[in-house]
Amino acid sequence: MARPLFSQGWLRRNMTTVGPIVAAIAIIVGFQAVNPFFLSHDGMITLVYAMSYFLIAACGLTFVVMMGSFDFSVVSLLKLAALLCVLYMDKLGFLVIPLALIISTGLGFINGLFVARFNVPSFMATLGVSVVVEGAALYLSKGFLHIIYNETFRSLATTFIAGLPSIFYWAIGIWLISTFIAIYTPFGRRTYAVGGNLIGAGLSGINVERHRIYVFMLSGFLAGLAGVLYMAQLGGGSMLIGADMPIPLFASVVAGGTALTGGVGGPHRTLLGVIIITWIQAGMLMLAIGRDTQMIVFGLIALGMSVATIDRKRIKIIK
C-alpha cells in the first residue's frame, strides 16, 4: 500500500509554511510555462528589482503586524523619503539620505505615539499620518515628475554584483537582520509578547507603551530606507511612486503567515510572501495583463490570505 508523503495532521499543522512554498513554486512554474522570458536572465533582474524595495518595506510592516497593530503609512513614508531624495539632492548632496531616514523614523514615532499613548486604533492613527504625509509630498513635489542626475546616488541600487543589482543585496541584508532581531533578540521577543497578550506583556515587565512606539519607529525607518533605495533604482519619480503598492504590500506580509491578529509569524516568513506577491505582479505585467485585472487579483489575494491566517481560536470578536 502506498503511504502518503505527509500525514494529514502534519500538513494541517504546517499549512502556514507549506502553503506559501507551494504557492511560490506554482507561480514560478506557471508563469514560466506561459512566458519563457520569466526565468531568463533579464526576467530575473526584473523580478529582483520588483521585490527588493518591497521586501525592505514589508520587513518593517511585519514587526507592526506581529505586534497585533497595523501600519497604513508605510507606502506614504516610502514615497516621501523617495521624493525628498530627488527634490533636495542638488541642495543637500548625500545629507539628504540621513534627513529622509530621520523624517520617516520621526513620522513612525508619531504613529506610535498616537497608538500607544493616546490609544487610537493603529489603522486610524497610521491612516491619518499617511494622509498628512501624502499632502506634504504633494506640496513638495508640486505633482511634477522629478529626475535625479547623480550617478553615485543611483549606484546605491543599480551596481551589479555577481549578476544582480545591489538593491537586492540591501534587501537580503535587511531581511537577514530583521529575521535575526525577531528570533534572537529580546526586542523581537517583546514584539511577539505584545502581540500575543498585551496585559501579560505588561505583567512580564515589558514597557508596552515604549515598545510599541519603537516598533512603529522601526517600521517608519525601513519604509524610509526602502524609499531612498527605490529612488536610486528608479532615477526619478512623482507622486505616483508606490501607487500600486498598498494592497500587494499588506497581502505579502499576511501571505507569508504573519496573521493580522498578532503574536505569530515574522520577517523570515515575509520573504516568501513578498516573492509570491511581487512575482505575480511582475508575471502579470510581463503577460500584459491590465491594471484592472491586477487590482482585482490582489484584492482577492489579500482577503483570502487574511481569512486563511487569522487565529480564530484566540480572538473571538473582530471588528
Partner 1 sequence: MSMATPAEAPLLEVRGVSKTFDGVVRALDEVTITVHQNEIVGVVGENGAGKSTLMKILVGVYAPDKGELYYRGRRVPFPRDPKEAAGRGISIVYQEKGVIPHLQVYQFLLLGHEDKYVKFSSLQIDTMKRVAGEILEELRVDCDIESFMYELPLSTQKMVEIAKAILSIRLEREDTDTTPIIILDEPTAPLAIEERQGLFNDILAMKRNSSFIFVSHIIPEVREFADRVYVLRDGKQVAYHDLTREKVTEEDLFRAIVGRGSSEYLYKPGLEKAVGEEIALTASNLTKNSYYYDISFHLHRGECIGLFGPAGSGKSEIIRTIAGLVGFDKGSLTVKGQTVKADELPHLRLERGIGYFSGETGKELFLNWPIAKNISIVNIGRILLTGRVPVISFSAERKMAERIVKKLRIAAPSVNTDCTSLSGGSKQKVSVGKWLERSPDILLLEDPTIGIDVGAREDIYEVLLEMKKSGASMILVSDDPKEYSILCDTIIFIKGGRMQRVLSPAEFREVTAA
Regarding 193 and contact with partner 1 (CB under 8 A), the answer is: yes
The rounded distance, in Å, linking the Cα atoms of 38 and 28 is 8
Judged by CB under 8 A, the residue of 145, 177, 184, 290 near partner 1 is 184
The rounded distance, in Å, linking the Cα atoms of 96 and 73 is 21
Cβ atoms of residues 278 and 52 within 8 Å: no
Regarding 16 and contact with partner 1 (CB under 8 A), the answer is: no
Residue 159: CB atoms within 10 Å:
13
Choose between 261 and 281: whose C-beta lies nearer to partner 1: 261
Regarding 186 and contact with partner 1 (CB under 8 A), the answer is: yes
Judged by CB under 8 A, the residue of 90, 293, 300, 311 near partner 1 is 311
Regarding 159 and contact with partner 1 (CB under 8 A), the answer is: no
- The pattern of x and - marking residues 25 through 64 that bind partner 1 according to CB under 8 A reads ----------------------------------------
What residues have CB less than 8 Å from 37, skipping those under 6 apart? 43, 286
How many residues touch partner 1 (CB under 8 A)?
23
Segment contacting partner 1 by CB under 8 A, of 50-58, 144-152, 200-208, 226-234: 200-208
Regarding 205 and contact with partner 1 (CB under 8 A), the answer is: yes
Choose between 51 and 208: whose C-beta lies nearer to partner 1: 208
Choose between 78 and 193: whose C-beta lies nearer to partner 1: 193
Judged by CB under 8 A, the residue of 19, 43, 112, 263 near partner 1 is 263
List of residues contacting partner 1 (CB under 8 A): 184-187, 189, 192-193, 196-197, 199-200, 202-209, 263-264, 311, 314
